[in-house]
Amino acid sequence: MAEGQEVQWIEVTEGQVGQRVDNFLMTRLKGVPRSLVYRIVRKGEVRVNKKRVKAEHRLELGDMVRIPPLRVAPREAVREVSDNLRNLLAGSVLLEGPDWMVLNKPSGLAVHGGSGVKIGLIEALRQVREDLDFLELVHRLDRDTSGCLLLAKSRPALLALNTSLKQHQMNKQYLALVAGRWPARRDFVSARLDRYDAGNGERRVRVDPAGKVSRTRFAVRETFAGATLVEAEPITGRTHQIRVHAAHAGHALLGDDKYGTREGLQLGRRLGLSRLFLHAASLSFPEPSNGRTVQIRAPLGPDLEAVLTRARR
């Protein structure tokens, strides 16, 4: 697969100011694996104003970026977006503003490629939306989690939305089906969380007194025989936070093959659950350009609605 047979010189525009060199290249070089991007930067084949730079170097207005000709071996090329995935992403857009968009992310689709994943949501969407020069994730969702996912379509919007996230001006509510009867009075779980390597490069999270402060608000939405539908709002934003906090409280999420129990997995199978029952149901954030609150809801998919219907019987 040939990506380009001659050197390109690209001038940095206003919307790209402050962007890291690696992210700039990933946007420009659609279909090129991240490992190759880092390789050409490390070898000095990418230059900014004729000078070698590191991947984390941030671009300024008017910078001239040299991109070398690339030839990508078929085995390392990022997979082209299939028609099915293209249609799925097109149908997943919940709302789009001038400099942001919110998707109802499908379960099973990683937000990033890597670790055996040839193509992730962001790489696929950059191929699908060729009209956009800039597209970055504002936050992430686990591969098996569905629901509201916010992306920025300009560098200023990304910076503004990241600031809103850090200042707790962005609210995210999830729906989760957990094992057992969640106590109505238990509305918060506070437990420090620590990430660790579980082997084979797999990341896991555990409760650890030496970990980072983590807090999740829980509210009971509906009770069933052997399970409870809860609304979860992460006050902090740690990896796998809702899943680990629920398991720590003795009510692991159904369909959770990392932190769930054997009994919970069996119950999920009896209810016809074939995935993690965790859905980012709503998201609110300040509009980057004017500060007005944007509020978006993502409906539960038919597969999760069917599980709830069976649980009510």
What confidence tens digit (pLDDT) does each residue in 241-258 have?
Answer: 999 999 999 999 999 999
Kindly tell me the sign of the dihedral angle through the C-alpha atoms of 233, 236, 242, 245. Answer: negative
**Residues 152 and 224 both lie in one domain:** no
Active-site entry in 63, 83, 131, 142 = 142
Is residue 76 assigned to a domain?
no
- What residues have CB less than 8 Å from 277, skipping those under 6 apart? 175, 176, 177, 253, 254, 255, 268, 304, 307
- What residues have CB less than 8 Å from 142, skipping those under 6 apart? 240, 243, 276, 278
**Residues 278 and 245 both lie in one domain:** yes
**Residues 138 and 58 both lie in one domain:** no
Is residue 78 assigned to a domain?
no
Q: Is 105 exposed, middle or buried (0-12, 13-18, 19+ CB in 10 A)?
A: buried
What residues make up the domain containing 131?
Answer: 83-167
Domain-terminating residue out of 41, 67, 93: 67
Domain-terminating residue out of 134, 151, 167: 167
Is residue 277 assigned to a domain?
yes
Q: What is the pLDDT of residue 312?
A: 94
Neighbours of 151 (CB within 10 A): 26
Residue 40's domain is classified under what CATH number? 3.10.290.10
Neighbours of 64 (CB within 10 A): 12
Q: What is the pLDDT of residue 120?
A: 84
Helix-helix angle 83-90:121-128, to 10 degrees: 90
Q: Is 63 a catalytic site residue?
A: no
Is residue 74 assigned to a domain?
no
**Residues 159 and 113 both lie in one domain:** yes
Q: Is the pLDDT of residue 310 over 80?
A: yes
Q: Is 109 exposed, middle or buried (0-12, 13-18, 19+ CB in 10 A)?
A: buried
Q: Residue type at 151?
A: L
**Residues 87 and 188 both lie in one domain:** no
Domain-terminating residue out of 120, 143, 167: 167
Global pTM value: 0.78
Model pLDDT for residues 166-219, shown as the tens digit of each residue: 999 999 999 999 999 999 889 999 999 999 987 776 789 999 999 999 999 999
Rounded Cα distance between 156 and 182, Å, is 42
